[in-house]
Structures are given as C-alpha cells and as structure tokens.
Structure 1
Amino acid sequence: MLICPICSGALHSLDNGVQCSHGHRFDRARQGYLNLLPVQHKKSLDPGDNAAMVEARRRFLDAGHYAPLAARLAELAAARAPARWIDIGCGEGYYTAQLAEALPDADGYALDISREAVKRACKRAPQLTWMVASMARVPLASASCTLLASVFSPIDWNEAARLLRPGGGILRLGPARMHLFELRQKLYDEVRDYVDDKHLADLPDELKLADTQTLEFRLTLDSHAARADLLAMTPHGWRVNAERRERILAEPFEVTVSVRYDWIERQ
C-alpha cells in the first residue's frame, strides 16, 4: 500500500519504520508518524505551517467554532462507505479524527507537508497511518483509495486521479463566496469577489463533479483569543498590518462561515 517516495517501490515494515527493496529506509518518529518527505523534495528546510500557526488552528478548532463543518464532512464521508481513505493536507488532525470516528472499519491514512502539524495530529487517532509527505508525491499506490478528503487544502488533481479507484472520489471542503466576509471587510480596503467554483476549471478528464452541497452559519467571535487564533490560522492574517490587526482584535464581531462540499468522482 505504501510506496517509496524516492523510487515508488513498495514499502514494507522493518523494525521501527519502513523500507523498500532498494534499501530506502524511513523511520517512524516517537509520536507515531512516518516522515516520507525526502530532503530533495523539500522547497524549504521546514515546509508547511509552523508551530505557532498549527497551535492557533488547534485552539480555534478544539473550541468548537467549526464543529458543524466537521460533522457534515464526517456524515458525507460515512455515506460513501470507503474501504480505504486518505486526508490530504490534514493539518493538526481535527477533521481527520472525526473522519476516523465516522469510518471505523475503513483503512485510513493522513498526510501533511508540515511536520509540526503531523506531530500533533497523530495523537488524535493513533490507529491511522500518519505521514509527513507532499500532495505532489503521495506515497500510496495507484488506484488504492476510494475516498480522498481535502479540507481547505490545495489539491493536485492529477495525483488525486492516480490515487483513486474508478467510482471513488474526492470529498472537498472549501470556502464559498461569503466565507469570513466580515473579516475580509475589516482587513482590506476593497474586498474582491470570490468565485467558489474556480477550482473546477482545472479538473482533468478523469474527474467529474457529481454533487455539491453548502453549509452556512453565523459565528460570534466574542473572545480576544478566538479572534487572534482565526487571524493566525488564515492567509488573511499574514497580510494585515499591526494597526489594523489591533483594531480587529479589540472588539467582538460576527462572521459568516460559508463553505461548499464537492464530491468529485473518478470516472
């Protein structure tokens, strides 16, 4: 099932790690994950979200602010009854753990390029196979999965098509047009309109949109911590200047949470 990220040969368990027939060996970290991101595949020394960003997301999600998003995701995944699934860009594992709970009899995998994220994520559901790896080179065999989950994460469509069996699909949770609109109003002088189906323009012929659902609700950010963590975990927060940041953090406000769930099927 697992394949070597260097030569694509099958990986087999050996001592406290895995190894292919060509002798490429990858040890399991003490937290339980496999690091399958060779140094030659990294674009920086420590790619992905850093510890501060991961901790902000963990605090915000564990506080339950996005609980309806995770519940709907788990419900939709369970309805597909996959035999083997993988969460691409799993982050600190909040959504992954709920997928694992909804799919107790399925073979589950999860990966993220951020080592800091996976270190924390693998504690949530130790029964899964957790990996530090890149979506551009997922270390799983071709046509091995029936469901690929992606939550607020970019997708390499061709790699996704390679991983999926015919009839399997991608369960994608992404922002809709009004997602965090009020926060964006506070951050930018001019809020650009967001086209929430632009990702579908790049689908290869093997992948087709089969179903779309939306979920929307209002969220009150009544604590300084919630506002700070939301800023820290979104790309919007990276761009704001200090003065505007302090104005945003100063007082409670409401935001619209608006997302879409796409089921993109492998033909």
Structure 2
Amino acid sequence: MSLICPICQAPLTSADNGLACANRHSFDRARQGYYNLLPVQHKKSLDPGDNAAMVEARRRFLDAGHYAPLARRLAELAAERAPHSWLDIGCGEGYYTGQLAAALPEAEGYALDISREAVKRSAKRHPQVTWLVASMARLPLESASLELIASVFSPIDWNEAARVLRTGGGVLRLGPARDHLLELREKLYDEVREYQDDKHLNDLPAGFSLAHSEQLSFRLPLDSRQAREDLLSMTPHGWRVNAERREQVLAEAFEVTVAVRYDWIVNTSTPAQD
C-alpha cells in the first residue's frame, strides 16, 4: 500500500479497522469499504462533489451500456501499458474503474473522488480496488508510486501527476472530442460554441509529452425518456438550462453523436536526486 496521511504526509499503515500514520492521525474504513482521506479543512463545501441524484443518474446510464465502447477501449489501452499500479481519478460511481480493474487483475489499483456519495456506491461493487474519498489536488499517495493515472472526463492536476508518477508512467486521458453530444448541445443552446478537443495539451508541464492519441465515435439513440434525463443529469449542461428548454429536450427521442479522444501522456522526467 502506497497511501500517505492527508494531514502530515507520513506513510499510512493498516491499524484496527482503518489506517493510521506515525503521528497518530487515523482514518476508519467505512462499512462500504472505502477510506475518507479528505479532511474537513481541505473541503470547499460541506459535502463536495456529485450528490446522490447525480450519482444515480450516471449509474443508470452507464449500467445500461450506452458508453460501453468507451470503457472497453479505455481498458484495452490501459492493459497495453501493463502498469503494476494505477489510479482512477474522479472515479464517480466506478463504472470505468471496474473495467480497468478487470483488465489489470494483477496490478494494485486505487480510485478516488471528492464525492462521498459516489465512492460509497462504487466501493461495494469492486472491492479489489482501494477506494478513497480524496482530491486530485492533494493525492494521498506516495511520490513515484504509480505507473498509470486514468482520467475519464475529469480535470488533472499536473503537479500532483508529476509527483506520483514514476518515470515512464503516464496519464491515460479520456475526454470529449469536437462533436461529442453535438445534437444535445444544439437543442439546449441557441449558439453552440466549437469545442477545441486538444486544448488540454497546451497545459502540459515540462517532463510530459503526448505519446499516443486516437478517437472513437458512434451514434447513440436516446429512445427512452429515462436515458435522456440521465444523460442530461450527468453532464454540466443539465444545470445550465432553464426548465422550459430542458422539457423540450426530454419530450422526444433523438440520436446523439458520442465522440471522444484518448491520450496517453507520458512522464519522461527523471526524479530529483537527494
């Protein structure tokens, strides 16, 4: 285990029914199987992240298989890298995490999200993964302890990625391509702004380089109102539109384009020598 204390950064070891560091900071293991390593002083709100309704909407939509091709290709790309240790950031309800765990059965896997509601549900589904309520901005993991970080529609703190990744490890990023959910956006907004799907590459710090990129797209019928409601609830678009426009979108079946890109961004830097 490569966990560190979120308060003092000392190594965490198993103690009773939880974790503890040498400075006597302790963290219980919740009955669902996760550890809460997000101290109250690091929270921006009382209960950060997705609420229960948003988590359930995402769970229904993903469990219905609508994004199965995305998860399948993500797992294939991760397996090609054959990491010994990996982390899924912004893991949500754990759909993609489960695919990664199945593809990497011998690797040490971690998953985290700032939403306790999300992690609480995901930990019960995939107990072979170490589940954490934690923040990407303060990863409770030792430096140079990971070989792969998976980011599925989640922001990346590159300073933390550089700290926890070993040389030769990298970030496997799954993000929206230019036409992702274009038809939905056209229904929601009078003017649809063009999305630049490679803008994240402008933020790469020294020591990181793009080693592989590919795209995947397909048409997705949204035949049921439940599917349309769930998709809207799990995207930022859902809370940006008024009730009238929302009802117009939900009223009739339509198809959307699912278009994503996968980037393998490698850490080529050499760790500093003491």
Q: What TM-score do you get using the length of structure 1 for normalisation?
A: 0.99
- Residue 211 of structure 1 aligns with which residue? 212
**1:134 equivalent in structure 2:** 135
Q: Distance in 2 between matches of 1:157 and 1:260?
A: 19
What secondary structure, in the 3-state scheme, does the structure 2 residue paired with 1:169 have? strand
* Offset at residue 99 of structure 1 (A): 0.3
- Show CA shifts across 1:191-213 (max 9, x none): 00100011111111011111101
CA RMSD across the alignment: 0.5
Q: What secondary structure, in the 3-state scheme, does the structure 2 residue paired with 1:205 have?
A: coil
TM-score, with length taken from structure 2: 0.97
What secondary structure, in the 3-state scheme, does the structure 1 residue paired with 2:124 have? coil
Instruction: Map Cα deviations across residues 103-132 of structure 1 (whole Å, 9 max, x no partner).
Output: 000000000000000001112210110000
Match of 1:146 in 2: 147
After superposition, the C-alpha distances for 1:220-249 in whole angstroms (9 at most, x for unaligned) are 000000000000000001111111111111
One-letter amino acid of the structure 2 residue matched with residue 253 of structure 1: F
Matched to 2:194, the amino acid is D
**Letter aligned with residue 185 of structure 1:** E
AA matched with 1:71: R
What is the correspondence of 1:1-267 to structure 2 with a 5 Å cutoff? 1-267=2-268
Distance 1:95 1:75 in 2: 12
2:73 counterpart letter in structure 1: R
- The one-letter amino acid paired with 2:9 is S
Q: Per-residue CA shift, 1:148-187, capped at 9, x if unaligned? A: 0000001101111111000001000000000000000000
Q: Aligned equivalents of 2:158 and 2:52: distance in 1?
A: 28
Rounded to whole Å, the distance in 2 between the matches of 1:206 and 1:123 is: 37
Paired letter, 2:161:
A
Work out the CA distance in 2 between the residues paired with 1:125 and 1:213: 28
Percentage of identical aligned residues: 77
Deviation at 1:48, TM superposition (A): 0.4
Alpha-carbon distance, 1:42 to partner: 0.2
Question: How far off its partner does 1:138 sit?
Answer: 0.5
Structure 1: gaps of 5 or more residues: none
Mapped to 2, the partners of 1:27 and 1:89 lie a distance apart of 21
Distance in 2 (CA, whole Å) between partners of 1:193 and 1:114 is: 30
- Residue equivalent to 2:271: none
Q: In the aligned structure 1, how far is the partner of 2:97 from the partner of 2:40?
A: 26
Q: 1:4 is paired with a residue of what secondary structure? A: coil
Q: How many residues align?
A: 267
SS at match of 2:19: strand
Compute the displacement of 1:84 (Å): 0.3
Q: Aligned AA for 2:266? A: E
